[in-house]
Amino acid sequence: MDGNGRWARERGLPRREGHRAGAESVREVVEACKEIGIKFLTLYAFSSENWSRPPDEIKALMELLERFLRKKTPEMHKQGVRLHAIGRLEALPDTCRSELDLAIAKTSSNTDLDLVLALSYGGREEIVDAVRQIASKAASADLDPEGIGNDTISEHLYTSGIPDPDLLLRTSGECRLSNFLLWQISYAEIVITNKFWPDFRKADLHEAIAEYARRHRRFGAI
Helix, strand, coil share of the chain (percent; to 5): 50, 15, 35
Which segments within the chain are labelled E, that is strand?
40-47, 81-86, 113-121, 167-170, 189-192
Q: Any catalytic annotation for residue 50?
A: yes
CA-CA distance, 222 to 216, in Å (whole number)?
10
Write down the catalytic residue from 50, 129, 164, 199: 50
CA-CA distance, 108 to 210, in Å (whole number)?
31
- DSSP label at 222? -
* Burial of residue 210, with CB atoms counted within 10 A of its CB: 0-12 exposed, 13-18 middle, 19 or more buried: exposed
Question: Nearest CA to 103 among 84, 120, 86?
Answer: 84
Question: Nearest CA to 19 among 65, 55, 50, 56?
Answer: 65
Question: Nearest CA to 130 among 152, 162, 163, 149?
Answer: 152
**Residue 127 near residue 183 (C-beta atoms within 8 A):** yes
Catalytic annotation, residues: 2, 50
